[in-house]
Each structure stands twice: as C-alpha cells, then as structure tokens.
Amino acid sequence: MAGHSQFKNIMHRKGKQDAVRSKMFSKLAREITVAAKTGLPDVNMNARLRLAVQNAKAQSMPKDNIERAIKKASAADGENYEEIRYEGYGPGGVAVIVEALTDNRNRTASSVRSTFSKAGGALGETGSVSFSFDKVGEITYKASVGDADKVMEAAIEAGAEDVTSDEDGHTIICGFEDINEVSKTLEGVLGEAESVKAIWRPQNTVPVDEEKAQSLMKLIDTLEDDDDVQNVYSNFEMSDEVMAKLSA
C-alpha cells in the first residue's frame, strides 16, 4: 500500500472517529452544495451531485443533512465556494496535492502555505507535482460484496482499468471520464459502492523512513483538519514496520 490510504487507516486506528466523522460530514455537505450549485439540484440530472450524495450516504450521513446541503445551493445568501488545488513537497521530497473548497481564497492559501512551511515542506506552483500523478476514478466496495474473482469480472465488464482486493475490501480504478458509466454498470452487478470519487494516483512512490514519516503524517493530519481542505493526496511509501510504529 502506498499514499494516502495508509494514513487513513492509521488515523482511524488512533481512535479519532468522532472528530473525523463530524469534520467529514461538513466536508461532504460542502461538496454536495457545490455540486448542486454547478448543475441542477437533482441527483438524476446532475452526475456530480449523484456521486456526492452517494458518498455521503455511504458514510451514514443523515438524510436531513443531505437535503439541507442541497437546499443551501439555491439560497440567496449562500456561500460561494471556489475550487482550488495546491501542490507542494513535504518532508523527504514527497509530493503532496491538496484540493480545497473555499469562500476565502486568501485565508486558505495562507493556511496551507503555513502548514507546509511548519512541516519543513514548501508550496509550489499549480502543476509542480501533479504531472507525476494521474487523475482517475476510484470506486470502492466492502469485502462482503463478493470474492476477488467476482469483482474482477464485474470490473472488466464495466470497463475498469485496475482492481485490487484484500481483506478490507475492493478498490476499482477507471478512467476519470468513465467514472459515472463504470460506477453505474458496477452498481447493477455489485450493488451500491462504498465510495465513488476522482482521485490523484501517483505514478511512482517515494520511500520514507520513520523520522520523515512522522513529519509527513503531521503535515497531512494538519491539512486534513483544515475546514477548507477536501482531499489530500501524496506519493509516499512506508514499510509495514514503520507503519506499525506510527499506529501503535
């Protein structure tokens, strides 16, 4: 395993579920509001909104919260969120991509820049690290939907590019432009996915030792804790031994 998924596992094992859940709901709501604003406030007519609502439901976000987030998009006094991507390097020369939805560009830029600096990293120009990542679709299913062969067969039929399966579940990768089509086809065979989203997948990974890994985790943790930050992606790779120490 490499990249951000490792950090997610560590974070949850440290017992931060409640705080993470509250923060996650607010970020899911923001994505729903932006999706509803950029198209029609109807999941059947707005592909981005359909995915946002699907992901919110997968995280057990209450129906009232979802409906409130959709209504917020048409409110006259609603916030106008701007989508911004920041790119930079963290400890050990690890590439980091930060996606934000903000109603105050200056506030978010200042916060992200400060977080990189404090961690011994540096914020770069847009495009400075994203060239070493691929924008792809990621569809995840729980292990209970079936064995690896069943999911692999369904994924191939749906036009996916790659599948990885383990005891935690199944991760299916497809072309960014094929997310909706592939996810709909898979839903007909495997049921509703646990999550469907666009991600930045690193083309190559950078190994980090224990010292660098600690600093990197702190950087990602602080970035994710920022209300304006939606997603953080990185190309780090750490050994099972280091991962076990950090999650102890």
12: in domain: no
pLDDT digits (tens, 9 = 90+) for 209-234: 888 889 998 999 999 999 999 999 99
pLDDT digits (tens, 9 = 90+) for 165-180: 998 899 999 999 999 8
Positive or negative torsion for Cα 122, 127, 131, 134: positive
Phi/psi at 48 (5° precision):
-65, -40
Distance CA 187, CA 191 (A): 4
170-174: long-range contacts at Cβ-Cβ below 8 A with a sequence spacing of 24 or more? 170/140, 170/141, 170/142, 170/143, 170/145, 171/138, 171/139, 171/140, 172/138, 172/139, 172/140, 172/141, 173/136, 173/137, 173/138, 173/139, 173/201, 174/136, 174/137, 174/139
Q: Judge if 173 and 189 occupy the same domain.
A: yes
How many distinct structural domains can be found in the chain?
A: 3
> pLDDT at residue 247 above 90?
no
50: in domain: yes
| Residue 190 pLDDT class (50, 70, 90 cuts) | very high
> Could you tell me where the beta strands, DSSP code E, fall in 90-214?
95-102, 122-124, 133-141, 162-166, 169-175, 195-202, 206-207
Distance CA 24, CA 48 (A): 18
Report the mean per-residue pLDDT for the chain. Answer: 88
Domain termination residue (choose one: 171, 187, 202): 202
Largest Cα separation within the chain, whole Å, is 53
The model's pTM is: 0.86
5: in domain: no
Q: Judge if 62 and 122 occupy the same domain.
A: no
Q: Judge if 212 and 241 occupy the same domain.
A: yes
Q: Judge if 118 and 210 occupy the same domain.
A: yes
Are the beta carbons of 193 and 225 closer than 8 angstroms?
Answer: no
Domain termination residue (choose one: 27, 45, 74): 74
Identify the domain containing residue 88 by its residue range.
83-130+204-247
Tokens of 6: 């490792």
